[in-house]
Amino acid sequence: MQYIPNLIFLIILVLGVGFFIKNIKKLLRNIRLGKDIDRSDNRPVRWRNMAKIALGQYKMVTRPVSGILHVVVYIGFIIINIEVLEIIMDGLFGTHRIFGFLGGLYNFLIGSFEILAFLVFVAVVVFWLRRNVIRIKRFLSPEMKGWPKMDGNLILYFEMVLMTLFLVMNATDYQLQLNGAAHYASGDGIVGAFPVSQYLLPLFNGLSDSALILIERSAWWVHIIGIFVFLNYLYYSKHLHILLAFPNTWYAKLKPKGELDNLQSVTDEVMLMMDPNADPFAAPADGAEETGDPEKFGASDVTDLNWVQLMNAYSCTECGRCTSECPANQTGKKLSPRKVMMDTRDRLEEVGKNIEANGSFKEDGKQLLDDYITKEELWACTTCNACTEACPISIDPLSIIMEMRRYMVMEESSAPTDLNNAMTNIENNGAPWPFNQMDRANWINES
Amino acid sequence: MSEALRVPTMAEYMAQGKKPEVLFWVGCAGSFDDRAKKITKAFARILNKANVDFAVLGAEESCTGDPAKRAGNEFLFQMQAVTNIEVLNAYEIKKVVTACPHCFNTLKNEYPALGGNYEVVHHTTFLKSLLEDGRLTVEGGKFKGKRITFHDPCYLGRANNVYEAPRDLLRKLEVELVEMRKCKSKGLCCGAGGAQMFKEPEPGNKDVNVERTEQALETKPEIIAAGCPFCNTMMTDGVKNKEKEDSIEVMDIAEMIASAQEL
């Protein structure tokens, strides 16, 4: 009988971790729906970028207020997780503060966790105020209505509750140790240091040991179950960035921001056209493999994007720094780089669910273009790279916009008329305006 | 102004069996747009003054393909690129200077994969190197002490990390350089990039160039300095929109240097 709590804990642990692994597999399957792209060059630079941007939060602090608050929550999250290790061990073995034998070091650690928990709580409250009371503009965009807004707040509530439970757990534990309660008190004096939770003691004044134990155990259980729930909430939330920020910065584009890739399928065609020896009527060489359908130009759906772009979509935490820097968005156009990422993820999730339901993808009459991202949004982009510069984890919304423009122009011929005129001019007379190419040097002799 | 411009073409150089030290890639705006042509001439005058051995392609130059590529027409872009590369490679061009950041970006970053490998520099970087080599001297002249803000072209700044060359030139002109709230890597686009120059903007509540001009006006400048013919047009229109064209000029840095030297 006495092992029942340990057993229940084990079951919760296995369920929590198992369900999480299942979701991660789903995530990887969806990301792999993207086209292949080789981003394994320059590994030292990639590691450095990951260390600087993801681990070091280098781009977060370019906006000092949200940046520093984020660093507090980030450090708190990582360090307090050391305590989760102890909680899991205690849960499995029914021990009380199993690392207590570390003595002074243990007290230092628990003390630091408490201070961090308090700071995290404060930072999270400020985050909540920024979203709901100060109402910062980038949290009020049209794409942030409904679930995305609730998602953002839910994460904050989760963190507030977890930090409160952690401190309540410590406070009651401390009181029980002071009372000399069995299982809690040890012969070597107080285990742990409680620089924050000691101030909560008056709340529990006069409670019996059994009442204290009830509160301590409840806080302990709800805290650890809450952590497992939160872990599994990640996949359904924008909060995946806590994991994906790392690969996302590692696989980010290293070339100059201004450089767009040259489509190889187009290069092949162009080189054939430019080759004076090419025979346009030549039959395929004997034994040549059937090459299949010609490749689609650009992207109209998520499966036309590459896997890094799809990972970008899952990594986006909807902070909106990209959108707030976007010249089109600032001047009231519909384009929002954040929405491009959110739409890509939503459509990818839809495609993933379709595959789960039907074994393989069954045509659903929908696509990313038009059904999620409109042409009006895509044509408003100035390709200025303000979004890619602003993103704290190196997401590249511009590359998705460009792929979709390529589809609109090369597959649909649906460019705005003005652009078609400019392109016709380039084709005919080598300039976007209707000037004769032979007049190109006239400026030299004009006064 | 009195001296005639000396602007030889590559064909002329070839006929004489000579090669210039640098090719001046003029670009479509620099060749045809009346405002941008002034920048082209100012830069050519400086090159003459510094005795730079340069040439242009003239009628053999064609659009780099940048607006086509950014509009999504990869096919047209690559046709332009491959044709231009054939011309450039036939002349065995090694170094290219251009006053257009869009040409600069495309030639520098997107031509190599198609077989066009050149050292490509923006004219502000080139002018800076002329100063450093002592081939050109710049004094403030009429710009000394003037309050000037610099608008970063996206395709020079964020796209290629060139922020200091234009500013160094302005410092040489002994101006009072004031930065906008949004500058360098955080600079706001003028609204022309990504082929927007050639189409009407989507519905919104303001034009991008007006927003950017307002940011520039916050610094109370006498001159808004630019380094891109498209930014120049957009900012000039913005200043007109704000009815400030009598008190605020929009000038390319090359024009300022030429003007300070009374070229």
Q: Where are the domains of chain B?
A: 10-131, 137-260
Neighbours of A365 (CB within 10 A): 5
* pLDDT above 70 for A431: yes
Q: How far is B124 from chain A (nearest CA, A)?
A: 18
Mean pLDDT over B8-27 rounds to 96
State the Cα–Cα distance between residues B55 and B64, nearest whole angstrom. Answer: 17
Q: So what's the ipTM on this one?
A: 0.96
Structure confidence at residue A290 as a pLDDT band (50, 70, 90): low
Furthest-apart CA pair in chain B: how many Å? 57
State the Cα–Cα distance between residues B213 and B140, nearest whole angstrom. Answer: 25
Q: How far is B111 from chain A (nearest CA, A)?
A: 9
Query: Which of B35, B63, B79, B231 is the best mutation test for A, with the most CBs of A within 10 A?
Result: B63
Say whether residue B217 is in contact with chain A using an 8 A CB cutoff.
no
Q: What pLDDT, on the 0 to 100 scale, is given for residue A148?
A: 96
Are the CB atoms for B55 and B13 separated by under 8 Å?
A: yes
What residue of B is the nearest CA neighbor of A400? B72
Contact call for B188 and A327, based on CB within 8 A: yes
What's the predicted TM-score (pTM) here? 0.94
A102 vs A423: which has the higher pLDDT: A423
pLDDT digits (tens, 9 = 90+) for B68-87: 999 999 999 999 999 999 99
A191 vs A187: which has the higher pLDDT: A191
Say whether residue B11 is in contact with chain A using an 8 A CB cutoff.
no
State the Cα–Cα distance between residues A266 and A180, nearest whole angstrom. Answer: 78
- CATH class of the region B10-131: alpha beta
Q: Using a CB-CB distance cutoff of 8 angstroms, which residues of chain A are in contact with residue B195?
A: 419, 422
Q: How far is A406 from chain B (nearest CA, A)?
A: 4
Contact call for B155 and A258, based on CB within 8 A: yes
Structure tokens at A303: 């499966």
Say whether residue B85 is in contact with chain A using an 8 A CB cutoff.
no
Q: How far is A58 from chain B (nearest CA, A)?
A: 15
Q: Using a CB-CB distance cutoff of 8 angstroms, which residues of chain B are in contact with residue A274?
A: 82, 86
* pLDDT above 70 for B2: no
The fold adopted by the segment(s) B137-260 is: Rossmann fold (3.40.50)
| Cβ-Cβ contacts under 8 Å for A379 (sequence gap 6 or more) | A405, A416, B199, B202
Q: How far is B256 from chain A (nearest CA, A)?
A: 19
Alpha helices in A180-240 (DSSP H): 209-233
Contact call for A422 and B195, based on CB within 8 A: yes
Q: Using a CB-CB distance cutoff of 8 angstroms, which residues of chain A are in contact with residue B63?
A: 426, 430-432
**What single-letter DSSP state applies at residue B122?**
E
Q: Which of A419, A432, A446 sits opposite B28 (nearest CB)?
A: A432
Contact call for A437 and B105, based on CB within 8 A: no
Neighbours of B220 (CB within 10 A): 11
Q: Which of A256, A330, A419 sits opposite B71 (nearest CB)?
A: A419
Q: How many residue contacts between A and B have a Cβ separation below 8 Å? A: 219
Query: H/E element holding B150?
Result: strand B147-150
Query: Which of B25, B54, B198 is the best mutation test for A, with the most CBs of A within 10 A?
Result: B198
Say whether residue B58 is in contact with chain A using an 8 A CB cutoff.
yes
Are the CB atoms for B210 and B201 separated by under 8 Å?
A: no
Which segment of A262-266, A377-381, B46-50 scores lowest on mean pLDDT? A262-266
Say whether residue B214 is in contact with chain A using an 8 A CB cutoff.
no
| Cβ-Cβ contacts under 8 Å for A84 (sequence gap 6 or more) | A224, A227
Contact call for A256 and B72, based on CB within 8 A: no
Using alpha carbons, list the distances in angstroms from residue B75 to A39, A207, A408, A429.
25, 78, 13, 16
Contact call for B105 and A274, based on CB within 8 A: no
Percent of chain B at pLDDT exceeding 70: 99
Contact call for B72 and A444, based on CB within 8 A: no
* pLDDT above 90 for A116: yes
Cross-strand pairs, B23: B55, B96
* pLDDT above 80 for A286: no
State the Cα–Cα distance between residues A315 and A151, nearest whole angstrom. Answer: 15
What residue of B is the nearest CA neighbor of A260? B110
* pLDDT above 60 for A422: yes
**What single-letter DSSP state applies at residue B17?**
T
Percent of chain A at pLDDT exceeding 90: 81
Q: How far is B66 from chain A (nearest CA, A)?
A: 10
Q: Using a CB-CB distance cutoff of 8 angstroms, which residues of chain A are in contact with residue B114?
A: 262, 267
State the Cα–Cα distance between residues A35 and A23, nearest whole angstrom. Answer: 21
pLDDT digits (tens, 9 = 90+) for A198-243: 999 999 988 999 999 999 999 999 999 999 999 999 999 999 999 9
Query: Which of A264, A443, A445, A446 is the best mutation test for B, with the most CBs of B within 10 A?
Result: A443
Percent of chain A at pLDDT exceeding 70: 98
Instruction: Provide the b/e sequence for A203-221 (b: ≥16 CB within 10 Å).
Output: ebeeeeeeebbebbeebbb
A2 vs A69: which has the higher pLDDT: A69
Q: What pLDDT, on the 0 to 100 scale, is given for residue A289?
A: 61
Q: What pLDDT, on the 0 to 100 scale, is given for residue A133?
A: 95
Phi-psi region of A258 (alpha: psi -120 to 50; beta: other; left: phi over 0): alpha
The order of strands in the sheet holding B147-150 is B176-177, B147-150, B223-226, B249-252
Structure confidence at residue A80 as a pLDDT band (50, 70, 90): confident
Q: Using a CB-CB distance cutoff of 8 angstroms, which residues of chain A are in contact with residue B188?
A: 327, 330, 386
Contact call for A258 and B82, based on CB within 8 A: no
* pLDDT above 60 for A37: yes
Q: Using a CB-CB distance cutoff of 8 angstroms, which residues of chain A are in contact with residue B189?
A: 327, 382, 384, 386
State the Cα–Cα distance between residues A248 and A335, nearest whole angstrom. Answer: 23
Structure tokens at B124: 């502000």
Residues 100-139 of B with CB under 8 A from A: 105, 108-110, 113-114
Q: Using a CB-CB distance cutoff of 8 angstroms, which residues of chain B are in contact with residue A383?
A: 70, 154, 193-194
Rounded to the nearest integer, the mean pLDDT of chain A is 93
State the Cα–Cα distance between residues A178 and A176, nearest whole angstrom. Answer: 5
The CATH number of A264-274+296-435, from 2.40.160, 3.40.720, 1.10.10, 1.10.1060, is: 1.10.1060
Domain ranges (residues) in chain A: 4-31+63-241, 264-274+296-435
Query: Burial, A65: exposed, middle or buried (Cβ in 10 Å; 0-12, 13-18, 19+)?
Result: exposed
What residue of B is the nearest CA neighbor of A417? B199
* pLDDT above 80 for A42: yes
Say whether residue B162 is in contact with chain A using an 8 A CB cutoff.
no
Q: Which of B7, B82, B198 sits opposite A422 (nearest CB)?
A: B198
State the Cα–Cα distance between residues A264 and A38, nearest whole angstrom. Answer: 14
Mean pLDDT over A331-338 rounds to 98
Which segment of A174-178, B3-7, B232-236 scores lowest on mean pLDDT? B3-7
pLDDT digits (tens, 9 = 90+) for B131-176: 999 999 998 889 999 999 999 999 999 999 999 999 999 999 999 9
Cross-strand pairs, B147: B176
Structure confidence at residue A285 as a pLDDT band (50, 70, 90): low
Structure tokens at B5: 């411009």
Using alpha carbons, list the distances in angstroms from residue A69 to A76, A250, A324.
11, 24, 19
